[in-house]
Structure 1
Amino acid sequence: MTKNKTTTEAKTEKKGIDLNELLRLADEERKMKHPPVDVEVLLSGRIMTVRMPHLSANEFDEFTLPYCPHPAYRDQLGCWFELENVTRNHPGVVLVDGDVEDDLYVIGGTRREKEAVYRWGEIYDSLRHEDKQNLQAAVWGVYVHEAQKKMAAAKAAAAKAAK
């Protein structure tokens, strides 16, 4: 007695592509933890480190949705997002001064209604232009350039394998 195969299974076998394996590997890659990015800045005359967590591709795509670039700059640096606003509003940034880390959340509000306020945007606004540029370069490097390098390496490996 033969088992009936679904259309997807039949197509997968015919093409020689194991979709389940591809999806499993993609899921593993998505779950990989990446180290945060550290950028030294000069803040109030003190050298400090801005530590930006690495967001997963899905998290980053969702985070950047509100930050579409101006149409005139859409293809600038290969970004699908407005680099300065994404850097200024990046979630989870920690400011490091020696051994002391600050998650940049403070409790504000009234006695009755307390709320946590994330102050990274204020810190970012107070930085020197050079430091803002370095932070933007770090964001671009992690989310755009690294992805471009991965694609280039995969293309080179495929070309080498085809020879």
Structure 2
Amino acid sequence: MKRLRQAKPSGAGTSGRRMALCNDHGSSLVELALCMPFLLLLLVGIADFGWIAYSYIELGNATNAGAQYAAQSTTYAAPNNQPAISAAVNNDAANLSGITTTVTNTCTCSDGSAVSSCLNAATTCTGTARIITNVTVTTSMPISPFISWTGIPTSITLHGQATMRVEE
């Protein structure tokens, strides 16, 4: 039951008093109903951004793990050992799937002379110069946001790259 209260006269020449309703209990509910879609959209946007940021960090850490594995020796860094390096990447990023890993080796001589290929580095490095081998692990992974946002692609490709010197 709504309570009625007597209103004050609204000015000169007012004959009698007006009755006004004194119930504003529903206004909070209306305000909540108007604000809730925006709050939910903000919450889902934060969750989407957090998932993408987490995946990017996880992919970077996994790329570093693959490079650390490969940098243990020239045997581990060999191009034919890519399945083991990919396994090291995937083991470090157990929460992610669809990671593509590529491994490349670059060689230089310790005296600074260029080497065209790691296969002929032993003949290119002369005198006291020794071979310096670097391994580069590059990863990529597609990720999809929870919701399709206007202006943002439905699939985003994250990339990671780590280069380390191989222990001889």
**Do the structures match in fold with TM over 0.5?**
no
Report the TM-score, using the length of structure 1 for normalisation: 0.25
Report the TM-score, using the length of structure 2 for normalisation: 0.24
* Structure having greater relative contact order (Cα 8 Å, sep ≥ 6): 2
Max radius of gyration: which structure? 2
Bigger fraction of residues in helix: 1
